[in-house]
Amino acid sequence: MSGLAPETIAAAYRASCLDELDALKPGNVHAFADGHRMAVADFVASAEISALPLAEAGARVGRRVLRAVAATMEAVGQNTNLGILLLCAPLAAAAETEGPLRHTLNAVLAGFDEGDAADVFAAIRRANPGGLGRAAQHDVTDPAAPLSLPAAMAEAAPRDAIARAYVTGFDDLFAIGLPALVEARTRRLDPPWHITAVFLAYLARVPDSHVARKHGPERAEALRVEAEALLALDLAERPVGPLLARDRAWKADRLNPGTSADFTVATLFLDRLLGAVDGQS
């Protein structure tokens, strides 16, 4: 391996988690408002404690996820970052290897073994995300489930955007997240409003999986339509009032578009990794 150093990867991950917290993300936890019995401080602590295991040199994806989830649960006592870690761990592993990042990412996704599956399944059980339910096949709560991470992700892909990322080569990061980030920067949106733009891009394009698990696919689609209407806001004007009004309404209905927030962190992380790789060439 001659890609990015672990300390570079850890710093990029930590900065991406912290930057995402500064952005006003309606329905989610952010610097403008806590919510869902979680506070910004929980996520700050999670970012700090999970960075080193996520960036462990030479570690397989499953080990990174499991050790980072375990460290988080011990530090804050609740699941604050399972989705983030599931998205960022393959990116971290890919960034260690020299070569175009999307190529090395595809190699990571194609190289899972039974150990990866066992560790990821254990991490999911440890985090115990809300609304997980049961699957007909490859259920993570079933110790007798086949230890195939690709098979489990493929089975879950129709109902879960993070699982679908494992099947599609993380296409949403490249097709939605990075273009939204580039557009926001082109518009010269002030930080952290360019991050709000990325969050809204995901929320308006893809029904949020976390909302769908807890409230059903119809409510997730309705939320997507509501988010689409928010795209009419001019983020250059820093529309705190309208976004906080939507934030309060969604939180009152216990709607937390957490998957869209997870993808936002992963987009920022990917962007930093790409910049660091380009900086070495």
What integer pLDDT is reported at residue 37 of this predicted model? 77
What's the distance, CA 264 to chain centroid? 6
Q: Can you read off the two tokens belonging to residue 166?
A: 């494992």
What integer pLDDT is reported at residue 131 of this predicted model? 44
Report how far apart, in Å, the C-alpha atoms of 132 and of each of 7, 173, 191, 269 are.
33, 23, 34, 26
Q: Is residue 87 part of a domain?
A: yes
* Domain span at 80: 6-280
Q: What percent of the chain has pLDDT over 70?
A: 93
Summary count for the chain: helices (H), strands (E): 15, 0
How many domains are there within the chain?
1
What integer pLDDT is reported at residue 130 of this predicted model? 60
Q: Residue 16's domain is classified under what CATH number?
A: 1.10.4200.10
Q: Is residue 200 part of a domain?
A: yes
Stated pTM of the model: 0.94
- The arithmetic mean of pLDDT across residues 29-50, rounded, is 90
Q: Is residue 175 part of a domain?
A: yes
Q: Which residues contact 91 (CB under 8 A, 6 or more apart)?
A: 101, 105, 170, 266, 269, 270, 273
- The arithmetic mean of pLDDT across residues 250-259, rounded, is 96
Q: Is residue 60 part of a domain?
A: yes
Q: Is residue 1 part of a domain?
A: no
Quick: pLDDT tens for 187-204.
999 999 999 999 999 999
Task: Using pLDDT thresholds of 50, 70 and 90, give the confidence band for residue 133.
Answer: very low
Task: Using pLDDT thresholds of 50, 70 and 90, give the confidence band for residue 184.
Answer: very high
**What is the pLDDT of the chain when averaged over all its residues?**
93
